[in-house]
Amino acid sequence: MKHATHISDLGPEVIEQILARAKEWKGQPHPKHLRDKILGMIFFNPSLRTRASFEAVMARGGGHAIVIEAGSGTWKLEDRVGAIMNADRPEHLKEAVPVMSRYVDVLAVRSFSRLTSDEDDNADAVLRSFQKYAAVPVVSMESAREHPCQGLADLMTIEECFGITKSLPVTLTWAPHIMPLPKAVPNSFLLTAAARGCDIRVAHPPGFELHDEIRAEAEALAKNAGVKISYFREQDSALTGARAIYAKAWGPATASRLSGESVTQHNDWMMTARQMNLAAPDAIFLHCLPVRRNVEVADEILDGRWSRVIDQAENRFHVQRALLDWILN
């Protein structure tokens, strides 16, 4: 049974295959490749793009999506094995997941980081419980560790602009925010760009390191593709000459957070035209959305010639369609 919970479930070959299919189908009439299929979507956290794009994928493909918001209109769900369930979570994943498996053909789950520690994110308990208890394929709609559909859409967008990604200089830069955010999106961009052989630069202030295990996994993918990943503690050098710049806010590394690093410092890391002008003349700007304008990124970028964020969001539809096709057909 195929799952798509993490980039490692796919690997470079399947990623290539999914991106090829996504691009092939983008300009064509919608195939009815999901006829009579049901996708069960379970959200522990809010969503706009993910929900609408997956629901559109199912409808366009001839299938149907069931949307469940856990804890809003349904029961809160317990994931701890052996729990004495005498508090506010009246249903265990051990029941909810197998039951949902009986009604649908594939289960998609959104379960954000609890922002307790990088180790907790990496363990990805809720999503891994779904995978363990489900009798059908499980797809991540962003978990504590990764957001693989976003990573796929990111790379599809870059490839649409530049054709080939092998050795393409791309930069992932940290951005300021009003609160600590999960690292699933930067993790997935790093892993997917490495799998596609980009020349990757990652810039963030000291204390905002990505987790060791993610970096090692990306390193192995980059090595396999014959490219390298460079890390920078200041922004300008990392941006210089880049063809694609991906800005994203994320929280401090565990140890740093404990030592008081704050996301509201480093406001000079907000992306403006000045920084974009350091990049290659044809550089594009990416962000997974939602974006806090004039906090993470200035209006002049989002409303300017660099931005591909709307295409990038549209591509969520295309890669998810290809992903479900790979899983179900």
Q: Compute the least distance from the CB of residue 256 to a copy of itself, in Å.
A: 22
* Closer Cβ to a copy of itself, 101 or 218, answer by number: 101
* Closer Cβ to a copy of itself, 22 or 200, answer by number: 22
Q: Which helix (H) or strand (E) holds 14?
A: helix 7-26
* Closer Cβ to a copy of itself, 21 or 64, answer by number: 64
Q: Compute the least distance from the CB of residue 226 to a copy of itself, in Å.
A: 35
* Closer Cβ to a copy of itself, 2 or 64, answer by number: 64
Reported in sequence order, the residue ranges of the chain that DSSP labels E, i.e. its strands, are 38-43, 64-69, 77-78, 91-92, 106-110, 138-140, 169-174, 199-203, 229-232, 244-248, 284-286
Residues that bind a copy of itself (CB under 8 A): 30, 36, 38, 40, 43, 46-49, 51-53, 55-56, 59-60, 63-64, 66, 68-69, 72-75, 78, 82-86, 90-92, 94-96, 98-100, 102-104, 178, 289-295, 299, 302-303, 309-310, 313-314, 317
Q: What six digits make up the tokens of 246?
A: 């991906």
* Closer Cβ to a copy of itself, 164 or 179, answer by number: 179
Instruction: Measure the CA–CA gap between 15 and 207, rounded to whole angstroms.
Output: 31
Q: Compute the least distance from the CB of residue 104 to a copy of itself, in Å.
A: 7
Instruction: Measure the CA–CA gap between 45 and 251, rounded to whole angstroms.
Output: 18
244: β partners: 170, 284
Q: Which helix (H) or strand (E) holds 300?
A: helix 299-302
* Closer Cβ to a copy of itself, 222 or 309, answer by number: 309
Instruction: Measure the CA–CA gap between 53 and 177, rounded to whole angstroms.
Output: 26
**Is-contact 179 211, C-beta < 8 A?**
no
Q: Compute the least distance from the CB of residue 69 to a copy of itself, in Å.
A: 5
Q: Compute the least distance from the CB of residue 44 to a copy of itself, in Å.
A: 11
Per DSSP, the residues of 236-261 read HHHHTT-SEEEEE--PPPHHHHHTT-
For residue 31, give Cα distances in angstroms to 40, 58, 216. Answer: 21, 11, 39
Instruction: Measure the CA–CA gap between 80 and 243, rounded to whole angstroms.
Output: 45
* Closer Cβ to a copy of itself, 51 or 204, answer by number: 51
Q: Compute the least distance from the CB of residue 277 to a copy of itself, in Å.
A: 21
Q: Compute the least distance from the CB of residue 305 to a copy of itself, in Å.
A: 16
